[in-house]
Amino acid sequence: HYHCSTTCGTTSIVHLFEWRWRDIAEECENYLGPNGFDAVQISPPSENVVVAQPWRPWWERYQPISYKLCSRSGTEQELRDMISRCNKAGVKIYADVVINHMCSASAGEGRRSTCGSYFNASKEEFPSVPYSASHFNDDKCTTASGNIENYQDIYQVRDCRLVGLLDLAHRKEHVRERVASYMNSLLDMGVAGFRVDACKHMWPQDLNAIYGQLHNLNTEWFPEGSRPFIYQEVIDLGGEPIKASEYSGLGHVTEFKYGAKLGSVIRRWNRDKLADLKTFGESWGLMPSNQALVFVDNHDNQRGHGAGGTSILTFWEPRMYKMAVAFMLAHPYGVTRLMSSYRWDRRLLDGKDQNDWMGPPSYPDGSTKPVPINPDGSCGGDWVCEHRWHQIRNMVTFRNVAHGQPLSNWWDNGENQIAFGRGDRGFIVINNDDCTLDASLQTGMPAGCYCDVISGQRTAAGTGCTGKRITVGEDGRARFSIKASEEDPFVAIHSGSKL
């Protein structure tokens, strides 16, 4: 209905990176469901190698040992419990699945794994799956080292080892069956979709064969015949022969150009300016909106060296970050994913963070710490919880309320002041100039008083605003005045924030 503040079109995914299953279950019930988040992307739930050097890096979870469901985030039972509780709270679970490879060839042998399963990397033996040497691509790879040496060679990129990771042979029926069985075990538990890791390194035809074996969603929570939502990680910033478009017929694809370009515009690099965003979308070389999974930053490129390079905005630069996230959530392009991070001891040296490998807040034994929620709703410890910042939370609601409405009433000053609406459901004004924005703008909204959801929101009683108040006249116009010095130099109103 008109004021569908949380249910009309839940549209945002939040990546609760490295969170434990028990904390995710709590978050679904206490926060994500009530605030209209669509889904949680969880870290890889499969058993992975325990890396000692560097000590327990975040990327150890991208080196599988088996498809047993025990990891740093918890046990299989805790995973099942979390999925059930989140589904009941109206929050879907999308699992990050690592199916291109197993662990590094140099990971040794023994039981240094999160479930204690035996493996022998040099002999390519993973008895808990089972995989053995014939299930890897050694005979297909043509490089001397067996590793990917040249990203311009599409055969190497698919059939050789990515940084030494044992490359699975998806052309073989046994491997396809094992991978599909792993994904089906998650679907049968109630998972609603997948973030498929490193898709650039797998052949579309093999992925198609695997996806074709996937079950429908569990009917305990989803309508009969529902299919998993799939979004594929393909790091394509141009310059490589492998394109995101090769995968878009199989499911959504991550659009890494989005965060890179948005970061450059908001940082005002290379004379990029906010007014240029009037045409943001396919004309910028991005993929069609209905294929795109978009984000400002992700778990890898927020550490500086990942895809998108140095223009990527992160929680380390909160003022620009909130502006970028607000723009992304207000703009109709793509399916939006929010990053929820932890802080680490960043140590920049010649532009590279020496500690970019650091894992989540943890105890001396390596186990991950819980996420404490403070009385004011922020997170304690080193958990950043960007998704709990009120500006971001309120823009998730904005996106839900504006779901399906077209971009409308664009205005800009030719520099770094812009405004645009979503039909008659929402309107946002952003000042990224060094001077005050002072303008009377056509909002397309019904006349009345609205609360700005960035500087505050409607009071619980719905009688007043805790932040700025915007009056829209009978002609749909409203006056906006935003100083360049404000902590958050942008204003947003929507039909759910009307008094």
Ligand X SMILES: O=C(NCCCOc1c(-c2ccc(O)c(O)c2)oc2cc(O)cc(O)c2c1=O)[C@@H]1CCCN1C(=O)/C=C/c1ccc(O)c(O)c1
Q: Of 197, 206, 356, 488, which one is the catalytic site residue?
A: 197
Take residue 403 and report the two structure tokens written for it: 């779901």
Is residue 399 part of the contact set for Ca ion (CB under 5 A)? no
Q: Which does 167 bind (CB under 5 to 8 A by kind): ligand X, Ca ion, none?
A: Ca ion
Q: Which residues bind ligand X (CB under 6 A)?
A: 59, 62, 98, 162-163, 197-198, 200, 233, 235, 300, 307
Beta pairing class for 193-196 and 92-97? parallel
At 342, the amino acid letter reads Y
Between CA 31 and CA 385 the distance in angstroms is 12
Cα–Cα distance list, 450 to 272, 346, 422, 436, 463 (Å): 32, 41, 15, 21, 11
Q: Which does 131 bind (CB under 5 to 8 A by kind): ligand X, Ca ion, none?
A: none
**Cβ proximity to ligand X, 23 vs 197, nearer residue:** 197
Query: Tell me, what DSSP letter sits at residue 7?
Result: T
Please state whether the peptide bond connecting residue 130 to the residue before it is cis, i.e. omega within 30 degrees of 0.
yes
Beta pairing class for 352-353 and 348-349? antiparallel
Phi, psi of 373 (to 5 degrees): -105, 120
Token pair 């998972």 is found at: 191
Q: Which does 125 bind (CB under 5 to 8 A by kind): Ca ion, ligand X, none?
A: none
CB of 8 to ligand X, least distance (A): 32
CB of 215 to ligand X, least distance (A): 24
Q: Which does 98 bind (CB under 5 to 8 A by kind): Ca ion, ligand X, none?
A: ligand X
Take residue 281 and report the two structure tokens written for it: 């979308």
Cross-strand pairs, 252:
231
CB of 376 to ligand X, least distance (A): 33
Q: Of 233, 300, 452, 488, which one is the catalytic site residue?
A: 233
Is residue 206 part of the contact set for Ca ion (CB under 5 A)? no
By CB under 5 A, how many residues form the interface with Ca ion?
3
Q: Are the C-beta atoms of 452 and 468 separated by less than 8 Å?
A: yes
**Cβ proximity to ligand X, 307 vs 465, nearer residue:** 307
**Cβ proximity to ligand X, 163 vs 348, nearer residue:** 163
Take residue 230 and report the two structure tokens written for it: 């799939």
Interface characters, 113-152, with Ca ion (x: CB under 5 A)? ----------------------------------------
Active site residue 197: yes
**Interior angle at CA 115, CA 110 and CA 120, nearest 5:** 25
**Cβ proximity to ligand X, 23 vs 233, nearer residue:** 233
**Cβ proximity to ligand X, 33 vs 64, nearer residue:** 64
Token pair 């960035």 is found at: 454
Piece in contact with Ca ion (CB under 5 A), picked from 83-91, 195-203, 311-319, 439-447: 195-203
Active site residue 109: no
Cross-strand pairs, 481:
438
Is residue 176 part of the contact set for Ca ion (CB under 5 A)? no
Phi, psi of 120 (to 5 degrees): -135, 100
Interface characters, 71-110, with Ca ion (x: CB under 5 A)? -----------------------------x----------
Query: Tell me, what DSSP letter sits at residue 125?
Result: B
Between CA 467 and CA 493 the distance in angstroms is 11
Can you give the binding site for Ca ion, defined by CB under 5 A? 100, 167, 201
Catalytically active residues are: 197, 233
